[in-house]
Structures are given as structure tokens and as C-alpha cells.
């Protein structure tokens, strides 16, 4: 997903006021993609109707590819390698699978900032902060959306992607979200051109040499969320 403007938007208004914290849910077992999308859509409708609070949902998917609204069919290199799911999120082709933390964010931008660029920048800021807690120096890459790490050992200008972002809004309530590579099978990326960037290399926390468990990653995500988006409730497991 190329960024529309290299200038970083103001993310300060993303931290919502009010007394109702964002719910935080962790699914310990893999969740099917279609099941997850249906659950997100139902939750978004409930948030819009004022019947539910905002939600951050952490999970893993079985190995699969998703095609966003800008996906180019030519970027699906091997359509028989893994199941392909058409997705309503923004962006192009991406991979989900075991060892990757998928983070679905159902946040009400009516309460925050009706600024899509600021929201995406806020998601990047959150993930950069969480990785920093784990001792990983991550950053933005000019002209691209997502979170990246520098790989000087592989070339002076080499940057590998460690987290992808693809969102959708319904009446200014977000869904879909972020995926962070903890220790997925990076070989599964060979079936697609990730996010339409042919020169993109993808990495993971494990490939970078960091021994981090999924609960440790989750705790870092929890800790880094509030400075960007505001108060969150204690985690629930479902």
C-alpha cells in the first residue's frame, strides 16, 4: 500500500477520551479467515449501533493468502500453494499463517479522528513501539505502509518488512488491521508478491535472532497500545 504523502500526519487525536476502555481479546486457537471476517463485521455493526465497545482481537490464522481491494492478479504467483481469500480490506496480497500475530482493530474513529492517514500512522507507531519494547529497532519506510527493519548486513539500503497493515472502514469504524511476523514459515511468501512490492523482502522476529514467545509479543502490544490509542481493558481469552 503506497503512502499518499511522505509527511507524517498528526496522530495525537487518535487517543480517545471517555471512560469505556477498548476490549482486548486473545484467541488461543487458530481462527478461520471467513469466520474472523464475519465476527469483525458483526462487531462493527454493534459498535456503530452503540451496543458494543471497541475491540482489539489477537489471533492466528491457518496458512492462507488474502487479496485486498487493490490486489493485482499478476501478484498471485502460485495460486495452488495456499488457499486464497478475497478481502474487503485495503491493500494487495498478503500472507497469514501460524507464527504470525494477526491483530484486528475495531476502533471508532468517530471518537478519535476521521483521518485515515493518521489512523494508519497510529497503527505503525503502535507496532514500532511494541517491537521497541522487545529490543527490535523498527521504523517506517518512506513511500510505503507497514513496519520495517533495516538489514545492513544484506546491503546498505536493505529494509525488510516485519509487519503489514490493511484496514477497512465502515461508517468510520475500522476493521481488519495488522499482522506481525513472530516466527511464521517465511517460505510461504513465495506464492505472492507481498503488498505488490516485487523488491520487498519479508522477515520475522525469529529470523532477526530474537527469542520471543507469542505471549511476550502480546504483552508488548498491550503495553504499547495505550500511549497511541488510549485505555484498554484486561485481556480476555476466547
Q: What amino acid positions are annotated as catalytic residues?
A: 195
- Classify 124 as helix, strand or coil: helix
Instruction: Please say whether the beta carbons of 175 and 183 come within 8 A.
Output: no
Report how far apart, in Å, the C-alpha atoms of 12 and of each of 7, 16, 118, 165, 188 are: 15, 9, 9, 20, 37
Instruction: Please say whether the beta carbons of 172 and 162 come within 8 A.
Output: no
Instruction: Please say whether the beta carbons of 85 and 67 come within 8 A.
Output: yes
Place of cell 507464527: 99
Residues in the chain: 238
**What is the C-alpha separation between 126 and 121, in angstroms, rounded?**
9
Partner residues linked to 108 by β-bridges: 173
**What is the C-alpha separation between 54 and 56, in angstroms, rounded?**
7
In DSSP notation, 18-36 reads SS-PBEEEE-SS---HHHH
**173: closest CA among 98, 105, 235, 233?**
105
Instruction: Please say whether the beta carbons of 162 and 180 come within 8 A.
Output: yes
Amino acid at each position: 500500500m503506497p503512502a499518499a504523502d511522505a509527511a507524517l500526519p498528526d496522530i495525537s487525536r487518535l487517543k480517545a477520551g471517555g471512560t469505556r476502555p477498548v476490549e482486548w481479546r486473545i484467541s488461543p486457537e487458530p481462527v478461520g479467515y471467513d469466520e474472523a471476517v464475519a465476527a469483525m463485521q458483526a462487531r462493527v455493526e454493534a459498535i456503530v449501533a452503540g451496543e458494543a465497545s471497541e475491540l482489539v482481537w489477537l489471533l492466528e490464522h491457518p496458512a492462507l493468502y488474502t487479496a485486498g481491494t487493490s490486489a493485482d492478479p499478476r501478484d498471485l504467483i502460485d495460486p495452488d500453494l495456499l488457499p486464497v481469500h478475497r478481502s474487503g480490506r485495503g491493500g494487495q496480497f498478503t500472507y497469514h499463517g501460524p507464527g504470525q500475530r494477526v491483530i484486528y482493530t475495531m476502533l471508532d474513529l468517530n471518537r478519535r479522528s476521521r483521518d485515515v492517514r493518521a489512523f494508519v500512522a497510529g497503527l505503525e507507531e503502535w507496532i514500532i513501539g511494541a517491537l521497541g519494547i522487545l529490543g527490535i529497532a523498527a521504523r517506517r519506510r518512506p513511500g510505503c505502509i507497514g513496519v520495517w527493519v533495516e538489514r545492513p548486513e544484506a546491503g546498505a539500503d536493505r529494509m525488510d518488512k516485519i509487519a503489514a497493515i490493511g484496514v477497512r472502514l465502515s461508517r468510520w469504524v475500522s476493521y481488519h488491521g495488522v499482522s506481525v511476523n513472530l516466527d511464521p514459515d517465511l517460505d510461504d511468501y513465495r506464492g505472492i508478491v507481498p503488498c505488490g512490492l516485487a523488491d520487498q523482502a519479508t522477515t520475522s522476529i525469529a529470523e532477526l535472532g530474537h527469542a520471543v514467545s507469542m505471549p511476550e509479543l502480546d504483552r508488548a502490544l498491550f503495553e504499547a497500545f495505550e500511549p497511541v490509542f488510549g485505555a484498554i481493558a484486561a485481556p480476555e481469552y476466547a
